[in-house]
């Protein structure tokens, strides 16, 4: 879910141009300054990268964790907009990177870091009404990169957008490949994608969830944000054969009343365990307490049987953490005695 401001390969259709010459994606071309400038087509925008970035600011956790996973902590001068603690294997590297804000920073704070590249996962962060627009940065000579998963969405309106086509995990892999190429570390990108593919296969082997129904709840108790068909929870559902009871809506995170939720009565509730403080019922504990006292939800099958699976907010957003979500949901379904 794109953040609240004061939550793959179709990707960015990466196009590389080495010093105005023919396209060349070899390690030799992108691994040295001689391979630049690069021109990339990111979300329909031509972005020129003059040299391997040395001072990147990442405005969303998903983008930040890709950069850290590529071993780029020493080139990062700021991060922002976090829903959860950083992935455990990245914690040490993350300690060395300044955190500009837990939420969305001001544009001025970003500029103080003197970035030579700004990356983001959501248009609500890097776009109208967010920290800055891409045009704002471009006027100052700062290139930007937006997650391809966001560019596939229809972001019109004030909600979290909708998808006509289900998000594919290949889009996440494509973002990894794009950023690795921009920074001149394509081998690290290839290794990370291979690692993610293997992790997904292992997670799918945990359980077959065919015939099990679920609801994915990100946050907010008054008007809950629940997953529609086609975002990151759709990847999780498809990978495990799980049925999302709200897969009949293409909205990314529609707000649905509890009476409708109770009527659909899913077998299991996948709930976000967030540490940010933007909405009501951010933590898993707060969500469970709400469900068990609300006169409508406490009568649901999953609530009566305490069938809860807690995942991080990052796992419900399009990111490398979505694969962690597949594993955690798979293990939760197995431990609840569901699936096969």
Which of the residues in the chain have pLDDT under 50? 4-31
Q: Please state whether beta strands 308-311 and 243-244 pair in parallel, antiparallel, or not at all (unpaired).
A: unpaired
The pLDDT value given to residue 11: 38
From 146, 118, 84, select the one nearest 284 (Cα to Cα). Answer: 84
Average pLDDT, the chain: 91
The pLDDT value given to residue 2: 57
Q: Alpha helix (H) ranges present in the chain? A: 27-30, 61-69, 91-95, 107-112, 134-139, 148-151, 169-182, 186-204, 232-240, 258-264, 284-293, 301-304, 313-316, 321-335
Q: What is the pLDDT of residues 65-90, one digit of tens each?
A: 999 999 999 999 999 999 999 999 99
User: CB-based contacts of 195: which residues, under 8 Å, 6+ apart?
Assistant: none
Q: What is the pLDDT of residues 39-48, one digit of tens each?
A: 999 999 999 9
The pLDDT value given to residue 1: 73
Report the length, in residues, of the chain.
340
User: CB-based contacts of 165: which residues, under 8 Å, 6+ apart?
Assistant: 152, 230
The pLDDT value given to residue 29: 37
Contact 33, 200 (CB under 8 A): no
DSSP 12: T
DSSP 184-225: T-HHHHHHHHHHHHHHHHHHHTT---TT-EEEEEEE-SSS-E
The pLDDT value given to residue 255: 96
The pLDDT value given to residue 98: 98
Instruction: Quote the pTM value.
Output: 0.89
Contact 194, 174 (CB under 8 A): no
DSSP 89-124: GGHHHHHTS-EEESSPPPHHHHHHT--SEEEES-TT
From 120, 127, 178, select the one nearest 155 (Cα to Cα). Answer: 127
The pLDDT value given to residue 160: 87
The pLDDT value given to residue 9: 34
| CA neighbours closer than 13 Å in the CB half-sphere of residue 305 | 13
Which sign does the torsion angle of CA 31, 188, 103, 145 carry?
Answer: positive
From residue 315, alpha-carbon distances to 109, 138, 248, 255 in Å are 28, 31, 21, 19
The full set of domains in the chain, from first to last, is 52-200 (3.40.50.1980), 207-335 (3.40.50.1980)
Cβ atoms within 10 Å of 113's Cβ, excluding its own: 17
Which sign does the torsion angle of CA 215, 317, 333, 86 carry?
Answer: negative
User: CB-based contacts of 203: which residues, under 8 Å, 6+ apart?
Assistant: 239, 323, 326, 327, 330
């Amino acid at each position: 879910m794109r953040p609240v401001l004061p939550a793959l390969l179709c990707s960015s259709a990466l196009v590389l141009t080495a010093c105005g010459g023919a396209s060349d994606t070899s390690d030799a071309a992108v691994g040295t300054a001689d391979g630049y400038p690069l021109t990339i087509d990111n979300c329909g925008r031509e972005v020129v990268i003059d040299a391997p970035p040395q001072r990147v600011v990442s405005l969303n956790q998903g983008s930040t964790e890709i950069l850290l996973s590529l071993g780029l902590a020493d080139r990062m001068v700021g991060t922002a907009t976090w829903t959860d603690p950083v992935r455990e294997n990245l914690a040490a590297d993350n300690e060395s990177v300044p955190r500009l804000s837990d939420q969305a920073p001001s544009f001025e704070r970003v500029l103080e870091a003197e970035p030579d590249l700004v990356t983001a996962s959501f248009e609500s962060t890097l776009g109208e009404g967010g920290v800055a627009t891409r045009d704002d940065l471009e006027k100052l000579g700062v290139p930007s990169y937006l997650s391809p998963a966001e560019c596939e969405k229809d972001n019109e309106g004030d909600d979290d957008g909708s998808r006509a086509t289900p998000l594919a995990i290949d889009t996440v892999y494509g973002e990894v490949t794009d950023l690795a190429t921009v920074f001149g570390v394509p081998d690290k990108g290839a290794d990370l994608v291979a690692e993610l593919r293997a992790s997904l296969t292992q997670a799918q082997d945990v359980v077959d969830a065919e015939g099990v129904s679920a609801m994915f709840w990100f946050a907010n108790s008054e008007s809950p944000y629940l997953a529609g068909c086609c975002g990151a929870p759709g990847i999780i559902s498809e990978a495990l054969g799980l049925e999302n009871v709200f897969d009949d809506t293409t909205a990314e995170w529609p707000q649905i009343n509890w009476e409708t939720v109770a009527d659909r009565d899913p077998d299991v509730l996948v709930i976000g365990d967030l540490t940010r403080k933007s909405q009501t019922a951010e933590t898993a504990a707060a969500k469970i307490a709400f469900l068990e006292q609300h006169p409508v939800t406490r009568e649901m099958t999953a609530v009566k049987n305490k069938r809860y699976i807690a995942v991080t907010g990052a796992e419900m957003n399009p990111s490398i953490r979505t694969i962690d979500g597949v594993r955690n949901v798979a293990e939760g379904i197995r431990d609840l005695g569901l699936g096969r």
